[in-house]
Amino acid sequence: MIPINQLTTGQKIDIALQLRDTASFFVKYYELLPKFKTQKECYDYLNAIHIEIFETEKYNSFNSFQACMYRDAKKYLKNRK
């Protein structure tokens, strides 16, 4: 994985645009997850890019992110029935 400080502004913008909504953030998270040692490292990486480009956090914390992920997964599975 390319460290954030080695990404060009264009690369950061491309990634940030892929984080535009909750579902897109999850997709990118799972795409990059195998490249990180922990789930939190992957989350921190994406959140740092989001902060740098949009000047705001996508989620307040890793725990908040996990709660949203669990909630949305539950809603998705319920709607599939």
Per-residue model confidence (pLDDT) at position 12: 96
Per-residue model confidence (pLDDT) at position 13: 95
53-71 pLDDT, tens per residue?
A: 999 999 999 999 999 888 8
Q: Tokens at residue 6, please?
A: 């080695």
- Residue 80, number of CB atoms within 10 A of its CB: 6
Question: What distances in angstroms separate CA 5 from CA 30, 48, 61, 76, one per listed residue?
Answer: 22, 11, 21, 36
17-63 pLDDT, tens per residue?
A: 999 888 889 889 999 999 999 999 999 999 999 999 999 999 999 99
Per-residue model confidence (pLDDT) at position 76: 60
Do 58 and 47 touch, CB atoms closer than 8 A?
yes
Banded pLDDT at 1 (limits 50, 70, 90): confident
